Amino acid sequence: MKKIIFLFAAASIFVQIGLSAAPVTEKLPSGATLVFEENHSAPLVAADIWFVSGSAYDGPLPAGTAHLAEHCAFNMTKNRPAGRIDWDAECLGTTLDAHTSRDWIHYSCTVPSRYIEKALDILSDAVINPVYDEGETDIEKRIVADELSRKSMTPFSVMKDFLAADLYESNPYGRPIEGYPDTVAKITRDDLMKFRSTRLTAARCAVVLVGDITKEKASELASKYFTLEKGEPAPPIPEPKTPQYSERVVNIPYVLTYTGFGFMGPKAEDFDEVCAVDVLVTCLVRGGMGLINRAVKGDCLSDFLTSKGRGMITIGFSCKEEEAAANEAALLQVIEEAKAGVDPAVAEAAKRYLLGTSAFDNETFGGRASALGFYFTLGGPDLADKYIDGVRAVTPERVSAAAKKYLDKAHAKKVVFTAKKEAAK
């Protein structure tokens, strides 16, 4: 069985169970945004706090600052000693979660609705009052170092970092989210405090609440607990240079050979293009049945995550060394055939796959809150519901047009990982 690695823009379909109202937004007194959706089908509330402050906004602080700040958020605050935040969350019957991407950081949990005020007290304390104790931070640095070590043993993840570095060059999207071992080691408490005071601010924040709570109560609690500094809106992501084709071969002693191509995709504001590219990459690799899966012998990768700036489309495969040349030719041939035309049945199957996965991802309060917050960071939570209609509207002709526009080898970057000793740097 082939293992398929496939990522696409976070989806937004939501299975409407019981009483559910359309999502609404409101500006809080602090300047943060409340994104709220009422649904009383279960006595739960999902709380998800989003900031437009991911790794792309690290500079001029060391690369990896956003990711390390996220790691340290639940350690110690002015009001809670080390370990108390997790303890308090577990007493509510929940666990806290946090993630960092290039565009965003978010902190989340889902709790019984009667405990939502206590949950917001915990989350706001973590965001507003972190101490960044040096001892606790050193522990988190070692955890990040371990993550980077484990990532080095995941070839497709390493490949995407290489491709991003080549494709974006000096653009902030070219840096890995976690930073580099040397930059993470250099991050100081002052760096983390500066990050908190300038990036984790109201102008960049959405407090997302979904579930068994009224609009009035949601507004009251979000206003009470998220008294963030106003700050400035996140600056736009710089427009990257138009890349020109290049390739590099890297000697890494993996068992298989890995070949990948990176292409510059659309940005979130070009939303119709985003939907078309999502369908395109799904046509190429879809649950082991995509066009590339049928043509290539080995594991396949087709990856696109909607981003505030121009996101990267990654297409690649792994195989035995002696099969690499034939597989590469087959992959490029599939891309050329997609430019010439896509079978309507293939396009419809890809759309069903996207919509079905979206429904699954958004059937919980937590999933719905995640979708609304994700799209807030990219332009507005209303995009969450526009996504479904956007995917449905994609035609085979638009899929082919997207392939022509975005999968141009003349503007691609290629990376090959091989165990051959004579590999070029």
The pLDDT assigned to 17 comes to 40
- For 6, the enclosing helix (H) or strand (E) is strand 4-7
| DSSP, res 171 | S
The full set of domain ranges for the chain reads: 17-225, 246-418
User: pLDDT averaged over consecutive 10-residue blocks of the chain (425 residues)?
Assistant: 34 40 91 97 98 97 98 96 96 97 98 98 97 96 96 95 97 97 97 97 98 97 97 95 96 93 98 98 87 94 95 97 96 97 96 93 95 96 94 98 98 93 51
The pLDDT assigned to 15 comes to 38
- Tell me the two tokens of residue 174: 């070219």
Topology agreement, domain 17-225 and domain 246-418: yes
| Architecture of the 17-225 domain | 2-Layer Sandwich (3.30)
Return contacts of 144-149, CB within 8 angstroms, 24+ apart: 144/64, 144/67, 144/68, 144/71, 144/178, 144/179, 144/184, 145/181, 145/184, 145/185, 147/178, 148/178, 148/180, 148/181, 148/184
The pLDDT assigned to 253 comes to 87
Within 70-204, strands assigned E span 97-100, 105-112
User: Is pTM, for the whole model, over 0.85?
Assistant: yes
- Tell me the two tokens of residue 31: 């300047």
Nearest 10 degrees: Cα torsion 248, 254, 259, 261: -70
C-alpha span between 106 and 301 (Å, rounded): 26
| Architecture of the 246-418 domain | 2-Layer Sandwich (3.30)
Within 113-245, strands assigned E span 205-211
Name the one residue in this structure whose structure tokens are 């994700």: 374
C-alpha span between 6 and 372 (Å, rounded): 21
The pLDDT assigned to 421 comes to 58
